[in-house]
Amino acid sequence: MEFANVRWLSDLVMDDPTFFHQCEMSTLDQLTSEHIAVALAGNDFQASFSSESYTSYPDFAPAAAAGNTFSCSSMEASQTGGGVDRPAKLPKTSSWSSCNAEQASAVVADASSPNILSFGRQNGAAGNPRSGYHQLGGFVGAPVKPKEEVSFSLSHGTKRSCVSMAAEVGGRRANTGSTRPPSHSQDHIIAERKRREKLSQRFIALSAIVPGLKKMDKASVLGDAIKYVKQLQERVKAMEDETAKRTVESVVLVKRSHVQVDDDTSSCDENFDVGPDGRPAGGGETFPEIEAKLSDRSVLVRVHCEKRKGVLVKVLAEVEKLHLTVVSTSVMPFAGSALDVTMDEEFSMTVKDLVRQLNSAFRRFMEILAQVLYADLPFLKSFKGSKREDLFGSTASQAHSRRKEGQFSHLHQKEKERGNTRSSETDLGVFRVKVSRKPREALGDLRAGLHLRLGGSPQRDAEEEERGSRRREEECSVSGADGQGGLGENKRRRYAASGGGGRGRRVT
């Protein structure tokens, strides 16, 4: 950073000695937020840093600046007599910090009251080059010329331009033969100062948050800011792509039978019910916890459930019915059950489409799993070679009736009696499944089979009430897609949304 090249900066932030240090911070730092907050305090800067420094302007100009480095003290005296005008240009050595609200507040009143200052030529004399009609045409006042001559000759050789001060200090409305009313010019000047200051403030703020600035001039700050924004955007885009890719490849996340109905591919941890300690509330109340995950062309599904005899066989049979090939399975004594469906065929569909297809399909599959595990649905009786007791160790109706008072307590009791499991033990089942058909067809069958099976479930849990409408839409849309019509209120999912804690942490 070149301090020597920051006049517009030094003019405005000298009262903040930490600013330059902040500039050196490479990346975003909350320390800079003050500056930014100040700069962004609003479009009007009266109530912010700008107003402070700005309102101090009229006073500051003759006082601080002249007191520091101005060489034309005599001029200055006359100017200060004029009252409100500031020097033509802030010298780089002038310190804004010395001019604060104390002086400013007092003088500002004068500055804001143009009538005090309205004397002699001031407005017209300050005309810009094009406003020559002010200088020559508009105003014909004689005093303008000598006074400015004086100021010019006085400050000509000096470093500081008291010249301009003289010009400004000169009469205010003397020759405003132009379009502007007498007092408006001064207001205009002040407003323009304010605008400039606001812009400078924002330049400062911008330069504070853009790292690696070598040059501090406005053009460079803008240019570097542009580059930096582009760079940040690209970075964010890359990261979002990465995240999206990862998200797309790990799409469906269903736990505790709360089938997610979000239509995009984002994961949805927010629906997890977590106990006070962030872990599952304990016992069977949190199960089943079902997660489906798509990676590359494989789909991994984990089912975290109570250790139960026959569950693995039933789930695998269900998978096979869906024209998926079980490649491998694994069951571990851990708080989860994973089912990995690997599809080795080459698809012509994009990964995103595949994900969408599988997303929708496996959401249905999750429902099936949930119902297989807990629901008292008629179609469960159709499981070949299985009775409800094989699945749960008790009848489904019993399980359903006791769900609210501890979903699996009776099951645990039964299991314990058989010595199959401890109350805190769970199954971790890992199934590797391979589809033998194209996924679109397989998913079609999946949907058809799901609707067929779902058609026989007449009941629903009271806990599902609040999510009913959303799921109803989802259900209807899907069922309409395969021509089976809506499932209706009485056909909605019946898996138990067992209250209590679920695990929010995702197993990646």
Partner DNA sequence: TTATACACGTGAAAC
Partner DNA sequence: TGTTTCACGTGTATA
Note whether 375 and 400 are within 8 A (CB). Answer: yes
Q: Which does 149 bind (CB under 5 to 8 A by kind): DNA, its own copies, none?
A: its own copies
Q: How far is the CB of 334 from its own copies (least distance, A)?
A: 6
Q: Which does 377 bind (CB under 5 to 8 A by kind): DNA, its own copies, none?
A: none
Q: How far is the CB of 233 from its own copies (least distance, A)?
A: 4
What distance in Å separates the CA atoms of residue 386 and residue 308, rounded to the nearest whole number? 13
Q: How far is the CB of 81 from its own copies (least distance, A)?
A: 17
328 strand-pairing partners: 432
**Binding of residue 43 to DNA (CB under 7 A):** yes
Q: Which does 192 bind (CB under 5 to 8 A by kind): its own copies, DNA, none?
A: DNA
Q: In this chain, which stretch among 65-73, 202-210, 316-324, 440-448 interacts with its own copies, using CB under 8 A?
A: 202-210
**Binding of residue 145 to DNA (CB under 7 A):** no
Q: How far is the CB of 48 from DNA (least distance, A)?
A: 14
Q: Which of 507, 361, 324 is nearest to 448 (CA)?
A: 361
Cβ contacts of 37-45, under 8 Å, gap ≥ 24: 38/201, 38/205, 39/198, 39/201, 39/202, 39/204, 39/205, 40/202, 40/205, 43/198, 45/194, 45/197, 45/198, 45/201
Give the three-state DSSP class for 4: helix
**Binding of residue 416 to its own copies (CB under 8 A):** no
Helix axes 162-169, 73-82, angle to 10 degrees: 30
**Binding of residue 91 to DNA (CB under 7 A):** yes
**Binding of residue 297 to its own copies (CB under 8 A):** no
Cβ contacts of 71-75, under 8 Å, gap ≥ 24: 71/155, 71/158, 71/159, 71/160, 71/162, 72/154, 72/155, 72/158, 72/160, 72/162, 74/154, 75/150, 75/151, 75/154, 75/155, 75/162, 75/165, 75/166
Residues 183-222 that bind DNA (CB under 7 A): 185-189, 191-193, 195-200, 216-220
Q: In this chain, which stretch among 10-18, 232-240, 262-270, 450-458 interacts with its own copies, using CB under 8 A?
A: 232-240
What is the helix (H) or strand (E) element at residue 303, kind and residue range?
strand 298-306
* Number of chain positions touching its own copies (CB under 8 A): 96
Residues 448-507 that bind its own copies (CB under 8 A): 505, 507
**CB of 201 or CB of 260, closer to DNA:** 201
Q: Which does 187 bind (CB under 5 to 8 A by kind): its own copies, DNA, none?
A: DNA
Q: Which does 174 bind (CB under 5 to 8 A by kind): DNA, its own copies, none?
A: none
**Binding of residue 81 to DNA (CB under 7 A):** no
- Report the interface residues with DNA, using CB under 7 A: 2-5, 7-9, 11-12, 43-44, 57, 85-93, 122-131, 133-134, 138, 155-156, 158-161, 163-164, 167-168, 178-180, 185-189, 191-193, 195-200, 216-220
